[in-house]
Structure 1
Amino acid sequence: MDSSGEVRVTTHRDGDDLLSAGLGLRGLAGAPAPFVQPAAPTTAELRRRAVQSSWKGIADLGPLGGFGTLYGQVPDIPGREFAAFATLAGASAPHRVLVQVPDGFDRTKRCLVVTASPGTRGIYGSIALAGAWGLPRGCAVAYTDKAAGSGYFDSSDGSGVTLDGTRAKAGQAPLEFEPKGVSAQAGIAVKHAHSGDHPEADWGRHVLQAARFGLAMLDQAFPDEAPFTPVNTRIIATGLSNGGGAVLRAAGEDTDGILAAVVALAPNIHVAGHGRPFYDYATEAALLLPAALAAPDFDGLPFARIASAQPPAWALRGASLRAHGRLAGATPVAQAAEALAMLRASGWQDDALAAGASSTSLDLWRTVTVAYASAYLRRLVGDMPCGFSYRPQHTGGLAGPVDAIVRAAWWADGSGSPPGAGILLAGGSDLSMDPTLPGNLCLRELWTGQGTDAQRLHEAVDATAATLPRENLPILVVHGAQDGLIPMAFTSKPYVKWLRASGRSPVFWKVPYAQHFDAFLAFPDFGDRHAPLLPFGYASLDRAWAYVTEGRPLPEDAAVRDTQPRGPAAFTATALALPAA
């Protein structure tokens, strides 16, 4: 592990705390935190907005969801932050690490929570999970963006993001991501897609690096009580989605035994020879699920029949696939049934397909797999596979220079996976009635094909496989039964089965009616049908903490039994049915 550059230390008190940047629950749920000068926001304004967008990205803060009443809290937590750019041995691009140390750090029960961002989000991506659970109980929290994040580099003006979130030209200050030798016409460079480092292969190392950085920063925060070590400081790793996969990867790579427990929510985890890796089932869904959604099985489901993505749009995908020899059915009804049967035959379950309609309608499958393909093939900006690129977009909606106001907010607002404000996902399309099909076919061919790029991509995916954790490490896995983005049948279930076959004893909570995006529960009708996952993450962290501090038994798998969907009214404690402590 290598740390590079300075450690930036900031204090956050008196209306600018660690957990909500002074916004509180109401402010987090409200309109985007403003910038006084939109083209030149201050570091405090950028941080506030980044914290807010990270909360909104993974938590349901709406009035019906129960956050702050049935579960969760956003107290004022004053303290300090320690931020740095770091590198891993063998990597060329830096990434962010951050440690939050509350003023109320519990010196009697030294605790460090280490986490990795979900998806490709920036450094605060996991604050609604790790920060919201750890900071109020006096734990420090160490974050890593695992070499993803929204430190976008705009080749048109040679600018990127500095350590404090502001933008600067290359050469003026160290940047979060600064590709070398880039032409002004190359487009927008994104760290996950264009670093050339295959960051997913190093997810476990990123988490363990962040844990060690956290201990070092505790030494700096409390020098009279140093050293902080895994022997005298309990380290709990937790994460959601890609972050959940990252902490499970860390569990298998923790040869020094620094982790006391691991809690993974909806983890994107791949076990060699078991389940299916994300790129495989995501490119399959991108190709077939639009055609399958024309089937009557999806009538009445949210997102499956929204105005911009309902039949005949879905039927066009079926016709296009038939024209390419991918489907045999001669009618839209037959094509939809055939596509649905193919998905079921490859392991998709109906609950996951129903929730997966949201990812299809929002074009998430294509958006995400474009970046993964580029990362796996180690393509640089200007050379993405299948003809894709991230192009600057003017405020008027056309390709062109990005408005300075939009660009200034990228670090705070961006998800790490364009498109987004000021960034177009270009290429991989044609002028047909089904314009995204060529790109989806190409991305799928990288998995199913036999060429050099397909071989390289498979080798890259193989490098992301989990390894076996030590026998006595407590591992708790929490997954929504209706997850349509990271289906449990492809990830958590085979992982847990593999652990048990190898003599480990993980705890597995299958949460009825929970899907992947708690933030989506604010959408009408969608939230009526589902339950949140985040409260069960907090509950599982409580159980892990009780085990490592008090020796209380770990919970049973069957602890989650009676959870119900929210319905049209506000969530109740009875419907949520959190497991008893």
Structure 2
Amino acid sequence: MFGSTRITEHRGHDDLLTAGLGLDGLRAMTPPAFADAAAPTPAELRRRALWANWRGIADMAPGGGYGNLYGSTVAVPGREFSTFATVPGANQPHRVLVQVPDAFDLERRCVVVTAASGSRGVYGAIAVAGAWGLPKGCAVAHTDKGAGTDYFDLDSGQGVRLDGTVGTVADGLAFAPGAPAGARGVAFKHAHSGDNPEADWGRHVKQAAQFALQSLGTAFPQAAPFTFDNTRVIAVGISNGGGAVLRAAELEGDWLDAVVAGEPNVLVEGHGSRALYDYTTEAALLMPCALLHPSLAPLPQPPMTAQVAPLWAAQCATLQKAGLVEGADTTAQAASAYQRLHDAGWTDEALRAGALSAGFDLWRSVAATYASAYTRAALGPSPCGYTFAAVDATGKPRAATTVERAAWWSDASGIPPGAGVQAIPPAGSNPMTDLQCLRALWTDANDARAAKLRQGVAQTRAGMPRAGLPVVVVHGTSDGLIPMAFTSVPYVAGAKASGRDVRFWQVRNAQHFDGFLGLPDYAARYVPLLPYVYAALDRVQAHLDGNGPLPADAVIATVPRGAGNALEARHLAMPAE
């Protein structure tokens, strides 16, 4: 199940939670520098990866409340145990990493197991599970759940070693796609592993927990063995990580004690549930046009409406020519797109917050990656012809440089574009035909590729949690990337209909990306979701200790702080004990 283990110590000017950066270092606008940009050390890569993942998940801006109103960046000395793990039948391994604080409480053995959000690397839940569990003396077990930032450079035949540095296939890499001679560009695990990692998310989480028990036995041999019977295991994650811990909740056995899932990407049978690929490709086509509807004004900034509105208007016209919306002018076309999304279950709250994803063209990036994963596509162009590479000043593919390769593991988010890697559309295409191709992979009943994709999506459908397992789901009502109407609401409805003990916090004025609350207009409109995930963990732990009930279902009426104001406890309106 596991490869060889790497053990590192993190004390003094280094630590488990922030690599010695502390709150001020995490707030820095530029990443920690490498002494030699072409050959960063494992310690430098780790520090920079922690900086990037903290900032990608949490609101670290002054006035946002992190570190004083909620959350912790206290220095936690300890050791890290890391390895590669493989689920049966998988082509490629996933990374697992266990952080064991020196203050691990042997009398109250606790493991917090987590999975990275999005497609992030193995530290992709450090601000979620690490910030809560490490200061409490719990070990924290992480997995990249078969995605992550272990990019492979096809031009040079180089990838990422266990310690984050660049090496060759002979060195034993986190991801080696078996590229044919002459292959060009960049491969990344989520799209090019030949696996459908999402189908195995629950098993990824369980293997991380098993590695935690093994690592604790190594760390404290005098107290071994560590087992699921004598060690409390709480699973927590957000976004894709939230979906992963819900998939773990359905696995057989009494190995999990509780689950907290924030804004989970989860698909269930019935109750209005929709697949990520379905609503992502729908949004990619229709949302830019729909956002011009006056009912949604004013949109949060950025994206700057003045800059993107002409592009969105042009998309309206193209949609009308393709017969996807109706209307003789932009106003009517926007109204048609808006109504189609409303009819499909999108709320105004989700659409407004989705402006960020539309403005950054995030929908296209997600769809191109997941199309490859769901179809288990071989290395090469995706089902709609996308490839991935570094580009020159004209946007044409080129070979990556040594400096670019060296930073991929620490800087990338797991899905291009980013860290110098771009998604390259097929030659001769245009943005609208590309999107229509991606959408047709869901809607075309006569396409063999579409049938394969839908089969891959079906393999990701979640079951219900184990009977008697406490589960708390936390979701923002303004989530515009993973709308709760398609995910959490159906999951909770299905679980309760099955007699499972699932509690649900619906947080008003919370959207998907706490990391974007550093943008002034987002800070004024939205509250962070992380405080509610931490609070749910606190109450689950108290319940397991016999010190209170599980949190009751709640619709939490938060208070936006408005422009220029610091976040205060009254804005969060945390439910009473």
Q: TM-score, normalised by structure 1?
A: 0.96
Q: CA deviation at 1:566?
A: 4.8
Residue identity in the other structure for 2:440: E
DSSP 3-state at the match of 2:5: strand
Distance between the aligned counterparts of 2:366 and 2:562, measured in 1? 29
Corresponding residue for residue 36 of structure 1: 35
Q: Secondary structure at the match of 1:358?
A: helix
Please report how far the alpha carbon of residue 403 of structure 1 lies from its aligned counterpart in structure 2 after TM superposition.
2.4
Could you say which residue in structure 2 is the equivalent of 1:444? 439
**Where does residue 529 of structure 1 map in the other structure?**
525
User: Do the aligned residues in 1 keep the contact of 2:509 with 2:558 (CA within 8 Å)?
Assistant: no
Q: Give the match for residue 569 of structure 1.
A: 565
Q: Distance in 2 between matches of 1:557 and 1:566?
A: 27
Q: Residue 263 of structure 2 corresponds to which residue in structure 1?
A: 266
**AA aligned opposite 2:98:** V
What is the match of residue 144 of structure 2? 145
Q: Pairwise mapping of residues 107-506 of structure 1 onto structure 2 (< 5 A)?
A: 107-171=106-170, 173-253=171-251, 255-274=252-271, 275-303=273-301, 306=304, 309-394=307-392, 398-428=396-426, 435-450=430-445, 451-506=447-502
List per-residue Cα deviations over 1:464-502 (Å, max 9, x = no partner): 011122221000000001000000100001100111111
The answer as to whether partners of 2:49 and 2:411 remain within 8 angstroms in 1 is: yes
1:305 is displaced (CA, Å) by 5.8
Structure-1 separation of matches of 2:536 and 2:345: 28
Answer with 389-398 or 439-448: which moved more: 389-398
Q: State whether residues 113 and 141 of structure 2, in contact with CA within 8 Å, keep that contact through their aligned partners in structure 1.
A: yes
Task: Name the aligned partner's letter for residue 336 of structure 2.
Answer: E
| Percentage of matched positions with identical amino acids | 52
Deviation at 1:561, TM superposition (A): 3.5
C-alpha displacement at 1:24, in angstroms?
A: 0.3
Secondary structure of the 2:554 match is helix
Offset of residue 206 of structure 1: 0.5
Residues 313 and 330 of structure 2 are in contact (CA less than 8 Å); yes or no, is this contact kept in structure 1? yes
| Counterpart residue type for residue 257 of structure 2 | A
**Would you say the 8 A contact 1:50–1:413 is kept in 2?**
yes
Three-state SS of the structure 1 residue aligned to 2:97 is strand
Counterpart of 2:74 in structure 1 is 75
Counterparts of 1:482 and 1:159, CA distance in 2:
41
Residue of structure 2 equivalent to 1:104: 103
Matched-pair contact (CA < 8 Å) for 1:547–1:553: yes
Aligned length: 574
2-side partners of 1:121 and 1:327: how far apart?
A: 35
The answer to whether the Cα contact below 8 Å between 2:166 and 2:406 also exists between their aligned partners in 1 is yes
Residues 488-525 of structure 1: per-residue CA shift (max 9 Å, x gap): 10000110011111111211001110000000111121
Cα gap change, 1:566/1:538 in structure 2, threshold over 3 Å: closer, same or farther?
A: farther
Instruction: Specify the SS of the correspondent of 1:186.
Output: coil
Q: Quick one: distance in 1 between partners of 2:328 and 2:240?
A: 40
1:17 aligned partner: 15
Q: CA deviation at 1:293?
A: 1.5
CA distance in 2 between partners of 1:454 and 1:57 (Å): 33
Change over 3 Å in CA distance of 1:311–1:22 after alignment to 2? same
The separation in 1 between residues aligned to 2:99 and 2:410, in whole angstroms, is 18
> CA, structure 1 residues 394+46, in 2 after alignment: closer, same or farther (shift >3 Å)?
farther
Cα displacement (A) at 1:184:
3.4
Whether the aligned pair in 1 keeps the contact of 2:392 and 2:398 (CA below 8 Å) is yes
| Range that drifts further, 385-394 or 131-140 | 385-394
Evaluate the alpha carbon distance shift between residue 91 and residue 569 of structure 1 in structure 2; reply closer, same or farther with a 3 A threshold.
same
Residues 42 and 164, structure 2, Cα contact 8 Å, conserved in 1: yes
Q: Which amino acid aligns with 1:512?
A: R
| Structure-2 separation of matches of 1:259 and 1:473 | 8
Q: Shift of the alpha carbon at 1:559?
A: 6.9
Cα displacement (A) at 1:58: 0.4
1:245-274 deviation per Cα after TM superposition (whole angstroms, max 9, x unaligned): 000000011x11100000000000100223
What's the CA shift for 1:20? 0.2
Distance 2:77 2:562 in 1: 34
- The reply to whether residue 543 of structure 1 matches residue 539 of structure 2 is yes
Say if 1:430 and 1:298 are closer, same or farther in 2 by CA, change over 3 A: farther
CA shift digits 1:5-53 (9 cap, x unpaired): x100000001110000000011011120110111110110000000110
The CA deviation at 1:579 is: 2.8
Structure 1 residues not aligned, in runs of 5+: none
The DSSP-based 3-state class of the residue aligned with 2:128 is helix
Aligned equivalents of 2:515, 2:558: Cα separation in 1: 22
Separation (CA, whole Å) in 2 of partners of 1:26 and 1:484: 30
The one-character-per-residue Cα deviations of 1:190-246 (angstroms, maximum 9, x if unpaired) are 101010111100000100111111111111111110111111110000000000000
Q: 1:230 to 1:409 in 2, by over 3 A?
A: same
* Paired amino acid for 1:339: A
Tell me, in whole angstroms, the C-alpha distance in 2 between the residues paired with 1:539 and 1:563: 17
Contact 1:237 1:262 in 2 (8 A): yes
After TM superposition, the runs of 4+ consecutive aligned structure 1 residues lying more than 6 A away are: none
Change (3 A) 1:97 1:113: same
Larger mean Cα displacement after TM superposition, 401-410 or 443-452: 401-410
Q: Distance in 1 between matches of 2:562 and 2:183?
A: 49
Aligned-partner SS, 2:523: helix
Structure 1 range deviating more: 384-393 or 440-449: 384-393
TM-score (norm 2): 0.97
CA distance in 2, matches of 1:304, 1:345: 27
* Contact 1:187–1:381 (Cα < 8 Å) also in 2: no
